[in-house]
Amino acid sequence: MAKFFPQTREKKHAVLCAIFLHIIVAALLMFSFEHYKSASSQKNINSNDDSKIVQAVTVDNNAVQTEINKITAKKQEAENAKIAETKMLEQLALKAKMARLLEQKKIQELKEKQLTAIKIQTEKNLKAKKELELLQQQKLNQQAELKKMRQQQIVAQKQQTELKKLHQQQIATQKQQAELKKLHQQQIAAQKQQAKIEKLAKMKTTMQAKQKELLQQQMHAESAQLDKINSNIINAQIKKYGSLIVAAIERNWVVPGKIDNNNLPKILINLAPDGKVLQVVLTKSSGNSILDHSVITAVLKASPLPVPKDKNTFKNFAALNLTVSKDWILHTK
């Protein structure tokens, strides 16, 4: 309170001194009146003189009472002003608190959306991984089956060789022809199986390429969305703290009379990361040195100014261009 209204304490002191002075004057007058009554009774002064003196004392008492009433009214007016100021500060604090709560709610909602997106992407990745493992297992099974078939072929060949020794040449020839036919069929089956394997491999390669393309598209879209969200957050922070800075300066600005809107002063404010005012430069004078000085003084009194704690957002507030008017135009970096 003393920081924003340094004259309140001095006014209160002056009012108390005035009341004390008038009480002393009233006491002296009353003492003079009593002394005069005692002297008149002893000296037997005529009735006309007594009447004049009583009238004078009555007038003085009325004047004192009037002055006391004025002082009481001024004191009540000062108390009313103090109450109004307290209510105004409470309203500003409440607005700032509501804005902070709203900002925290938005940040929490953003975090929840990001967590949901990460969860969905993780599930998709797990599903793709399982599908890839299934394809690999199928390939291994097919290779094992081919190996088993080759082993069977070797066993069959051994059997044919043994039969040639035990049977007649004709039977051996017939069996050999049958075996050749069987081998031919197996070759055809193996060729079909190999074609199937090559087809599956080609499908796997195509699927992996599509999955990679879809993943890249999704990552690009999510990156663009995050950039947009971060930009919106920074713009909201700039608007919020810009209003807080203007409000802080306005509370400390004592307007020196009427302002000419056609010739307004402009200033450049350099701030430290903690909001401390490092420098105030008058970039355009209004032509009224008193007005220019009052604006610079208001900025220095308002230091430190409210600024965002985030370093990237603060870069927009390191140097502020301010046009002074009833609407206060603030331009960030």
Does 236 fall in a domain? Answer: yes
Return the HEC string of 237-275. HHHHHHHHHHHHHHHCCCCCCCCCCCCCCEEEEEECCCC
What confidence tens digit (pLDDT) does each residue in 25-61 have?
Answer: 677 767 655 655 555 555 554 555 555 554 555 657 8
Residues 182 and 72 in one domain: yes
- My answer on whether 261 and 175 are in the same domain is no
User: Is the same domain home to 221 and 278?
Assistant: no
Q: Is 288 exposed, middle or buried (0-12, 13-18, 19+ CB in 10 A)?
A: middle
Q: What is the per-residue DSSP string for 85-109? A: HHHHHHHHHHHHHHHHHHHHHHHHH
Point out the domain boundary residue: 186, 206, 240. Answer: 240
The answer to whether residue 247 is domain-embedded is: no
- In angstroms, the Cα distances linking 37 to 27, 44, 56, 91, 305 are 16, 10, 13, 60, 68
This prediction's pTM: 0.35
Same domain (yes/no): 224, 273: no
What is the per-residue pLDDT for 2? 47
Ranges in the chain, pLDDT < 50:
2-5, 45, 54
Structural domain containing residue 272: 256-331
pLDDT of amino acid 5 = 46
In sign, the C-alpha dihedral spanning 71, 73, 75, 78 is: negative
pLDDT of res. 210: 83
Amino acid present at 24: I
Q: Where are the beta strands (DSSP E) in the chain?
A: 266-271, 277-284, 319-323, 329-331
Q: Are residues 235 and 261 in the same domain?
A: no
The verdict on residue 293 lying in a domain is yes
pLDDT value of residue 10: 63
Whether 155 and 264 map to the same domain: the answer is no
Domain count, the chain: 2
Q: Which of 210, 240, 270 is the last residue of a domain?
A: 240
Residue 230 in tokens: 């971060």
Q: Flag whether 249 is in a domain.
A: no
- What is the chain's length? 333
* Judgement on whether residues 159 and 81 belong to the same structural domain of the protein: yes
CA distance readout (Å), 75 to 13, 17, 28, 63, 188? 11, 12, 24, 18, 114
**Which residues, at least 6 apart from 155, have a Cβ–Cβ distance to it below 8 Å?**
none
pLDDT, residue 214, reads 81
- Encoded tokens for 172: 């051996």
Instruction: Let me know if residue 303 belongs to a domain.
Output: yes
Q: Which CATH number characterizes residue 277's domain?
A: 3.30.1150.10
Report yes or no on 198 lying in a domain: yes
Residue 245 falls within a domain, yes or no? no
pLDDT of residue 211: 83
DSSP 275-291: S-EEEEEEEE--S-HHH
Are residues 213 and 327 part of one domain? no
- The verdict on 72 and 118 lying in the same domain is yes
Same domain as 201, residue 266: no
251, part of any domain: no
What's the alpha-carbon Rg for the chain, to the nearest Å? 50
**Same domain (yes/no): 167, 305:** no
Measured distance CA(261)–CA(293) in Å, rounded? 17
Q: 93-102 pLDDT, tens per residue?
A: 899 899 999 9
**Nearest-CA neighbor of 244 among 332, 117, 172?**
332
**Are 211 and 289 found together in one domain?**
no
